Amino acid sequence: LTTFDAVLGQDQAGQLMAMALEKNRVGHAYLFAGADGTGKTLFAMELAKALLCRNDQPPHSIGCSECRMVSEDNHPDLSLVQAEEGKRFITIDQARKVSHMLSRRPVQSARRVVILRDADRMNDEAANSLLKTLEEPAPYAVLILTSSRPRNLLETIRSRCQELRFAPLSPEHVQTILSRQGEHEAHLVAFAARASQGSAGRAINALESGSIESHLDILGRVIDLPKEDPFALAGELIAWLKTIAPKLEPQRVQLRETIRLMVCAYRDILMLHEGGTAEDLLHADQVDTLYTIADRLSRERLLLIIESLWTARRQIDRNASMPLVLENLFTRIGSLQHAA
Ligand SMILES: [Zn+2]
């Protein structure tokens, strides 16, 4: 057993860090960089256990009272800091708190550990206030930054951290993680894993929000355009977005994802059109539905549909009105799918 067995799919980071622990060469500042939902925070918690544990040897997950306190997030020598709920930025007060915690002596362990999640959400002022802590760390301090956008971090911060890269997860790993998350229909789990782009977090959200079922439902009707009324379909999609989130910003995020999945569906159709087989497809379960349109449309028209989906997504990015974008999109798809 090694310390990081609980983190699937990050063997390289796990081996590097296990070696540092073994040789007692753990640094004072780390940057865990990689997409959301690839295990960065979980890995940081496992590292915190290893640093604060009373036992020298792994496994730390079941062991002592220290490890249990880390798991329950009430260890006095560990803090997890992140932007407050609904807030985009980590404030300078939060950054100062991080410095303060790392300067105080540990209460009951040999170390003090602070995990700063999504550290790229610090503005320059907040980031600058951390510099002194990074330049002259207390001997017991360990600061772990996580980020899915490490390029947005100040170079002065980034250059003072040891960087560990977190790779996208394989669909098999995502599926294993999903199967531990409770009961969902197998074909939805398999789809969520394939559609996740290596992010278990994305797949879990998609399953738990019911967005996969909604996607498959909407997709079936988009394929039926122009038989479906484009305006009614746009209205229903908007109504569904409102059930997911009352605020506009999370609705946009969900709509971006819904459109991304539609692009994947039309790519699947294009692959079928070019003689691909069902196993190659994201929408392997929907292959019969997809065939109906693959048979009917030319390659050119399919490419135009994919292009119009990308255009709609860019318009959403630029804060265009969602109903308007969807009405235009579905009208356009309807006319492209109209019998030529
Ligand atoms: Zn322990």
Q: What does the pLDDT look like over 172-181, one tens digit per residue? A: 999 999 988 8
Residue 292 scores a pLDDT above 90: no
Among candidate residues 336, 261, 258, 338, the one with its CA nearest the CA of residue 303? 336
CA of 58 to the centre of ligand 1 (A): 8
Pairing mode, strands 141-147 and 162-166: unpaired
| The predicted structure's pLDDT at residue 268 | 94
Mean of the pLDDT values across residues 11-36? 94
CA of 3 to the centre of ligand 1 (A): 11
What is the C-alpha separation between 315 and 289, in angstroms, rounded? 28
| The predicted structure's pLDDT at residue 43 | 96
Q: What does the pLDDT look like over 142-165, one tens digit per residue? A: 999 999 999 999 999 999 999 999
CA of 1 to the centre of ligand 1 (A): 14
Select the more confidently predicted residue: 17 or 183: 17
Mean of the pLDDT values across residues 229-254? 92
**Cβ atoms within 10 A of the Cβ of 7, count?**
22
Query: pTM score, two decimals?
Result: 0.80
Beta-ladder partners of 116: 81, 145
What is the C-alpha separation between 158 and 255, in angstroms, rounded? 33
CA of 70 to the centre of ligand 1 (A): 9
CA of 162 to the centre of ligand 1 (A): 25
| The predicted structure's pLDDT at residue 39 | 95
- 3-state DSSP helix/strand/coil percent for the chain, to nearest 5? 60, 10, 35
CA of 68 to the centre of ligand 1 (A): 7
CA of 55 to the centre of ligand 1 (A): 6
pLDDT band at 59 (very low <50, low <70, confident <90, very high): low
| The predicted structure's pLDDT at residue 183 | 83
Among candidate residues 64, 145, 60, the one with its CA nearest the CA of residue 102? 145
| The predicted structure's pLDDT at residue 276 | 86
CA of 160 to the centre of ligand 1 (A): 29
Choice among 75-79, 102-106, 292-296, 314-318 with the minimum mean pLDDT:
292-296
Share of the chain above pLDDT 70, in %: 96
CA of 10 to the centre of ligand 1 (A): 22
| The predicted structure's pLDDT at residue 221 | 94
Mean of the pLDDT values across residues 298-326? 96
| The predicted structure's pLDDT at residue 260 | 93
| The predicted structure's pLDDT at residue 284 | 87
pLDDT band at 285 (very low <50, low <70, confident <90, very high): confident
According to DSSP, residue 122 is labeled: B
CA of 112 to the centre of ligand 1 (A): 15
CA of 115 to the centre of ligand 1 (A): 18
Residue 277 scores a pLDDT above 70: yes
**75: number of CA atoms within 13 Å, CB side?**
31
CA of 286 to the centre of ligand 1 (A): 48
Select the more confidently predicted residue: 274 or 32: 32
Residue 130 scores a pLDDT above 90: yes
pLDDT band at 52 (very low <50, low <70, confident <90, very high): very high
- Residue 4, CA distances (Å) to 14, 88, 172, 198, 302 in order: 6, 30, 18, 19, 45
SS3 268: helix
CA of 135 to the centre of ligand 1 (A): 30
Mean of the pLDDT values across residues 287-300? 90
Amino acid at 119: A
CA of 65 to the centre of ligand 1 (A): 6
CA of 15 to the centre of ligand 1 (A): 19
What is the C-alpha separation between 63 and 49, in angstroms, rounded? 10
CA of 169 to the centre of ligand 1 (A): 28
CA of 202 to the centre of ligand 1 (A): 31
| The predicted structure's pLDDT at residue 61 | 59
CA of 27 to the centre of ligand 1 (A): 20
| The predicted structure's pLDDT at residue 29 | 97
CA of 300 to the centre of ligand 1 (A): 61
| The predicted structure's pLDDT at residue 60 | 65
Angle at which helix 287-296 crosses helix 248-273, to 10 degrees, equals 70
Share of the chain above pLDDT 90, in %: 72
CA of 60 to the centre of ligand 1 (A): 5
**Cβ atoms within 10 A of the Cβ of 80, count?**
16
- 151: tokens are 């390029």
Mean pLDDT of the chain: 92
Residue 117 scores a pLDDT above 90: yes
CB 124, CB 2: distance < 8 Å: no
CA of 13 to the centre of ligand 1 (A): 21
CA of 128 to the centre of ligand 1 (A): 34
Residue 116 scores a pLDDT above 90: yes
